[in-house]
Structure 1
Amino acid sequence: MELRQLQYFVTVAEEGGFGRAAQRLNIVQSAVSQQVRRLERGLGVPLFDRSSRHVRLTAAGERLLPEARAVLTAADRTRRIAADIAAGHDGVLRLGVVHGPGDRIYRLLAELATSAPGLQVQPHRLSAADRLAAVRSGDLDAALVRAARPVAGLELLHAWSDPLYAAVPAEHPLPSGRDLHLADLAGLPLRLASRDANALFHDLIVDAFRRTGTEPLLGPSFTTLQQTLTAIAAGPPSWTVFYDVNGLPSIPRVAIHRLADLTVTTSLVVPAGPPSPAVRQLLQALHRTAPDVGA
């Protein structure tokens, strides 16, 4: 059974004859008759009574006509959905996301919902390493990754950059009259997440120190921001570096300073090569909410 045969069957039934059906379909009458005969042989039942001057549906034809129309309607809907998927207006976008900062992610998803309302976004929260691996394997269509580095087979598009902050003991002497730099903190133990816990951010900080000609003095590992800030307030002198996710914290005996010489970049990581239609929609939404994307 072919969709074309069902279409010819429905058209003959609606027009009441093979000749008028052929005119409507803009084909020769013999082609219509041949395809309907093939459909009848395939189904094993006659669809039309051809014994009189007028073509009439048989009982089987009357029963199967609404089913044939339903199949054609479903096929037409399938074609329309496929066209929307090809244009990026429909389908599923599997997106790896990051925490914060602010409402950037919410604005991005809201923009995407407005521009492509039929596109179903499935956000996935994974570690940075797992997000990169999932894009490489095809389990994710794209991922936002903070402090990402080039990876074979993947393309990194700049999405946005955020400032980094140093949390130091409030009584720690700091240079006055200028912004705070990493070199100002080189002698103070740094509470930094281990490389096993967050390799991308760990390497970002260590490499930034090395560009200044110094090595960070590593202290106890960063755990959570709250626990780490509490340890800085209560323990021996130390400091940590972090990015804003839910607003800058206020902790007694801890001072927060913006670093002048270091930011962290969030990249949209996609498979190398032409983007899929859904990813194209994501890129357009990202351009509208973060105009420097790809810069």
Structure 2
Amino acid sequence: MDLELVASFLTLVDEGHFGRAAARHHLTCSALTKRIQRLERDLGMPLIDRPVTDMVTLTVGGKQFAAGAADLLAHAEMVRAAAREAARTGTFGGRPLRLGFPAGTGEAMRRHLGLPGIAQQVRANFPGVLLRTLAVPFSALASCLPDRTVDVLFANGVVRHPGVESFPTPLTSARVVVVGERHPLADAAAVHVRDFVDYPIGYNPAVAGEFMGGLWLDDLRPRRDARLVDIPADDQGTNLRLLKAGDAAMVTYPDIAYPLGRRLRPPPAAGPAFRPGAASRSG
């Protein structure tokens, strides 16, 4: 995703008028329109109702995207700031800027967060800074930034440390419930999260609560009411294997759940969307 297109869209939303938004970017209205059309093609959906006048009316999808797009640009700026600091101080010397993801989720997280577009802009602006992605074991999510194993972490929770800055990810997500083939919900077409909360849910006791809360539905009920089953996995592959062998279920979002194999089922979880995580960097 071209972040310049996102910035143009946000200017259009802010101004509510094609002419004024185009002037802020020193563009013609036609050129701004082409930018918005390119962004719509990238996203695969219309963002604005095609106007009779220069005034702007957002589609439902456009409103949702606008709500998270500012965070998306802030998210990209965080990575660029780390790269600028590396270029200015030589902090990284000859080594890459290290971007961490929970082990086994990297490819899905890169797609979900639009990281290829961010990486492309970082390389264009700071050609001397290399980027490297690292798989972070689940049990090391809270410590990998303070101990400088990685420089930026994308995960489903914030790192609470005085030397670390955390920012919410810019996107919300649907949820799926992953269960074994013998689970009572295995053949369900869909599951409402409020009907699911009484089932045992997989939980890793070695992982800080900040990273697990969304996975046992802390937005719907307090932890004391959750039926948590220990699944001591340090990566997503092991997590899924242990899930197959037990009676617990797992809540996650679609990109992370795929692929499951024939012994696991992913009924969609109808209910409120949630933000799957945060981006954190060493301060």
TM-score (norm 2): 0.48
Q: Give the number of the structure whose alpha-carbon radius of gyration is greater.
A: 1
TM-score (norm 1): 0.47
